[in-house]
């Protein structure tokens, strides 16, 4: 299988043009999918469970007659455990512990301060209910369950419901066991836009939630985008990305496999290697050609490199930092000898992995920090999913009589400047 990817050098005159063109995602509007999603959401709102049963049978490859069949029962959960080995359960528990311990560090508490008998502060409360969407189909994704559920649990979310297109218990046993270990309150066997609509608006048998998190296909993403405002969402995820900064002191096989770990996600994933050493880049390419034929998903990896991958030869650390900040990648591995120095100059990345023994794959499953990360350059303004996404803040304002006189004068002046008479009068009353 022939390997091909874009090779750039920062010394080239047209480097910037080629580079920017490569990192841009060509967003083509899928009108057909958008229209279908809108229809599904409308039908769920109007007909509830009746439409949901129809869509599950039609789209989820799970034929049902009664809505009650979509609930994963205690008997189903017990059956799932029989299909999971003790080693897998033990490793899930270890991952749960690490992710939970990290999440606890993110927990915020209510706070306040007082001056002149005036109290100002914030009341921190958890979101009441959350829906976790977990992709299904032919694969099981226990890591998605862990990363989306555990921060919500630590935040104190009262009710957590999981939706996943589970057509049989055996193939999805690991995700079901993960949900049980994480304390998910109820698992619904439903996927796609109909699952998102049901969790947003509720049906007779599906509770409406306050926020929906978790990845999915184009129909799930469009549905989340459509219902946002009626319900909270985490983000609209794009294709996966990894940028690796490496030098001649690295093992090219390690770098090649770390690039593969993102490229194998899908054909639009973006694997990028940046180095100040051309020979090392060439060595990584040789490793790729050697290792690629051994992988099951080699076709996807090959297309990923061809359509969106890059090998960039940079000529200084400042150039490297500038390139990374422009990409703002989902995952960034800094494997150079002086990796700590880059932390001072690189500000845009979802997750930063430092050193040769911190591969992105550890972050995917069990290191502790969340693997739900900003994609498509949104790390410029977004953060990883965390406990803070499941907590909300209410401002606390308790003004004393003395402070009210002072604030009244300020408020009257500003309110009149904005032409808001009632505002000014309401403030004026507090002067006396």
Percent of the chain exceeding pLDDT 70 equals: 98
The stretch 151-162 carries a mean pLDDT of 98
**How is the chain split into domains, by residue range?**
6-25+238-367, 31-233, 399-431
The DSSP annotation for 267-291 comes to TT-EEEEEES-HHHHHHHHHHHHHH
Helix axes 142-155, 173-182, angle to 10 degrees: 10
Residue 27, pLDDT score: 64
Handedness of CA 217, 374, 195, 82 (dihedral sign): positive
pLDDT tens digit string along 309-328? 999 999 999 999 999 999 99
Nearest alpha carbon to residue 336 among 240, 245, 432: 245
The DSSP annotation for 354-384 comes to ESTT--HHHHHHTSSS-S----TTGGGT---
In this structure, the dihedral spanned by the alpha carbons of residues 129, 135, 139 and 142, taken in order and rounded to 10 degrees, is -30
- CATH fold label, 6-25+238-367: Rossmann fold (3.40.50)
**Who has greater pLDDT, 185 or 217?**
185
Residue 1, pLDDT score: 65
Q: Hey, do 6-25+238-367 and 31-233 end up sharing a CATH topology, with the first three levels equal?
A: yes
Judge whether 122 counts as a catalytic residue.
no
Residue 138, pLDDT score: 63
Strand-by-strand arrangement of the 232-233 sheet:
186-189, 159-164, 129-133, 211-213, 232-233
Strand partners, 332: 243, 352
* Average model confidence (pLDDT) across the chain: 95
Using CB atoms within 10 Å of the CB of residue 374, give its burial: 0 to 12 exposed, 13 to 18 middle, 19+ buried.
buried
Judge whether 194 counts as a catalytic residue.
no
On whether the pTM is more than 0.85, the answer is yes
Structure tokens at 222: 């469009």
Residue 125 has pLDDT above 70, yes or no: yes
Which of 264, 330, 333, 360 is an active site residue?
330
Handedness of CA 297, 165, 44, 179 (dihedral sign): negative
Residue 80 has pLDDT above 80, yes or no: yes
Count of all residues that appear for the chain in the document? 432
Which of 172, 194, 331, 371 is an active site residue?
331
Residue 383, pLDDT score: 97
Tell me which architecture the domain covering 31-233 has in CATH. 3-Layer(aba) Sandwich (3.40)
Given pLDDT bands bounded at 50, 70 and 90, which one contains residue 136? Answer: confident
Residue 29, pLDDT score: 67
The stretch 154-174 carries a mean pLDDT of 96
> Among 75-79, 92-96, 336-340, which is the least confidently predicted range?
336-340
pLDDT tens digit string along 355-414? 999 999 999 999 999 999 999 999 999 999 999 999 999 999 999 999 999 999 999 999
Given pLDDT bands bounded at 50, 70 and 90, which one contains residue 61? Answer: confident
Percent of the chain exceeding pLDDT 90 equals: 93
The whole-angstrom separation of Cα 269 and Cα 242 is 8
Instruction: Report the phi/psi class of residue 260: left, alpha or beta, with left for phi > 0 and alpha for psi in -120 to 50.
Output: alpha
Residue 137 has pLDDT above 80, yes or no: no
Residue 28, pLDDT score: 63
């Amino acid at each position: 299988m022939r390997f091909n990817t874009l090779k750039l050098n920062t010394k080239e005159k047209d480097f910037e043009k080629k580079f920017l063109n490569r990192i841009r995602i060509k967003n083509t509007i899928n009108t057909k999918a958008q229209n279908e999603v809108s229809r599904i959401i409308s039908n769920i709102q109007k007909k509830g469970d009746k439409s949901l049963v129809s869509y599950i049978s039609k789209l989820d490859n799970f034929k049902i007659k009664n809505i009650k069949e979509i609930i994963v029962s205690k008997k189903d959960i017990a059956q799932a455990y029989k299909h999971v080995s003790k080693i897998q359960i033990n490793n899930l528990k270890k991952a749960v512990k690490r992710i939970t311990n990290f999440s606890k560090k993110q927990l915020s508490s209510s706070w306040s301060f007082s001056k002149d008998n005036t109290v100002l502060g914030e009341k921190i409360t958890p979101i009441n209910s959350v829906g976790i969407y977990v992709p299904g189909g032919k694969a099981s994704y226990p890591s998605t369950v862990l990363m989306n559920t555990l921060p919500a649990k630590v935040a104190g979310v009262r009710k957590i419901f999981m939706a996943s297109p589970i057509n049989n218990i055996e193939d999805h046993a690991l995700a079901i066991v993960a949900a049980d270990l994480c304390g998910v309150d109820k698992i619904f066997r439903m996927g796609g836009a109909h699952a998102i609509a049901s969790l947003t608006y509720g049906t007779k048998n599906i509770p409406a939630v306050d926020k929906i998190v978790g990845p999915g296909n184009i129909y799930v993403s469009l549905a989340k985008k459509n219902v946002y405002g009626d319900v909270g969402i985490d983000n609209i995820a794009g294709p996966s990305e990894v940028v690796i900064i490496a030098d001649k002191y690295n093992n090219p096989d390690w770098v090649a496999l770390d690039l593969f770990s993102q490229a194998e996600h899908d054909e639009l994933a973006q694997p990028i290697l940046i180095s100040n050493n051309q020979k090392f880049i060439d060595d990584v390419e040789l490793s790729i050609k050697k290792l690629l034929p051994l992988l099951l998903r080699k076709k996807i990896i090959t297309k990923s490199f061809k359509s969106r991958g890059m090998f960039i030869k940079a000529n200084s650390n400042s150039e490297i930092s500038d390139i990374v900040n422009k990409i703002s990648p989902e995952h960034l591995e800094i494997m150079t000898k002086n990796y700590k120095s880059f932390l001072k100059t690189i500000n845009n990345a979802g997750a930063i992995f430092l050193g040769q023994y911190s591969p992105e794959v550890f972050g995917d499953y069990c290191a502790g920090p969340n693997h739900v990360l900003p994609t498509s350059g949104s790390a410029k303004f977004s953060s990883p999913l965390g406990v803070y996404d499941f907590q909300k803040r209410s401002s606390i304002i308790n003004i004393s009589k003395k402070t009210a006189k002072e604030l009244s004068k300020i408020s009257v002046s500003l309110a009149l400047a904005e032409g808001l008479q009632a505002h000014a009068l309401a403030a004026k009353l507090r002067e006396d």
